[in-house]
Amino acid sequence: MKIITTGGRGFIGSHFIEAALDKGHTVLDIDFMGYCATPILPFDNHPNYKHLNKDICDIKHLPVCDVLVNFAAETHVDNSINDTTPFVHSNIIGVHNLLEVIRGKKEYERPLFVQISTDEVYGDRENGEFKETDALTPSNPYSATKVASEALVLAYHRTYGINYLITRSCNNYGERQYEEKLIPKCLKCMQEAKKIPIHGDGSYIRDWIYVKDNADCILTLIEKGIQNDTFNIGAGNKIKNLDVVKEIINWFGGNYESSIQFVPNRWGQDVRYALNTDKIASIGWKPKHPQGIYKWFN
């Protein structure tokens, strides 16, 4: 299979490319090497891999391919609160441009468009779990731009017949994650003997999945030929932020009280994310690392 990825030098995208190359697929990755991109990756010299340094907003032509998987996005909530412009640029204008390029192709040359989304599009809820059919009520500019990009994908399917797949994953963790995210930030703080900043009282709950499981799930959906549908991807690891931090401090044998610093909540703070994953389980997929962060480091 010929796959084009965008943002494949980033965290989730790079793990997806590894999985795709291991399965014998060819990958052209379009990535303009933003601040979260990894300059050196294990597959750089793989014969089936090629990198094109380009912004998705500037793409005018796509080579023939079977699938386009869009990982390219601005993703950090705090950054979106401080400056919304890069998020609108990448997450909305970029997606619009990709869809327009696909629309311009002959129908039989159009690839499947895979939009990588997030559980944050649902907003939060104190009890229960979100299903794929639930309303999307984003709480911050980042998640709002992801909702907008999903809406564009659905509209281009309805109006122009472009085939799509949308995945909404929970919090990812694993190798190569940029340090602004919770777990790598905790690791960096412990390594540098700095206090770990914790929003509010640390009681906010997130669902966690190992990045290689998320990549495997996305690739599984593609290889099964599933189209024009949306899937939640999670592993059922709903953990308080404070408990994640405590676990990482334990890895280093540190003292909890002296290793943390409570900081003000971010604006629009989501209290709890929780995905219902019955739909993805119904196609026979389940995570290979269901134990969560507790086994990852060791």
Active-site residues: which are they?
119-120, 142
Which position has the token pair 């190569």?
176
| 271: amino acid identity, one letter | V
| 90: amino acid identity, one letter | S
| Ramachandran angles phi, psi of 141, nearest 5° | -60, -35
CA pseudo-torsion sign 178, 181, 186, 192: positive
Helix (H) or strand (E) segment spanning residue 246: helix 241-251
Task: Note whether 71 and 5 are within 8 A (CB).
Answer: yes
User: Which residue, 143, 153, 165, is CA-closest to 76?
Assistant: 143
Distances (CA, A) of 154 to 148, 159, 272: 10, 9, 27
Give residue 250's Cα distance to chain centre: 27
Tokens encoding 168: 């909404």
Residue 96 to residue 152: CA distance in whole angstroms: 7
The full DSSP string for 203-217 is: --EEEEEEHHHHHHH
Residue 170 to residue 297: CA distance in whole angstroms: 19
Helix (H) or strand (E) segment spanning residue 6: strand 2-6
Task: Note whether 170 and 116 are within 8 A (CB).
Answer: no
Strand partners, 49: 27
Tokens encoding 256: 């909890």
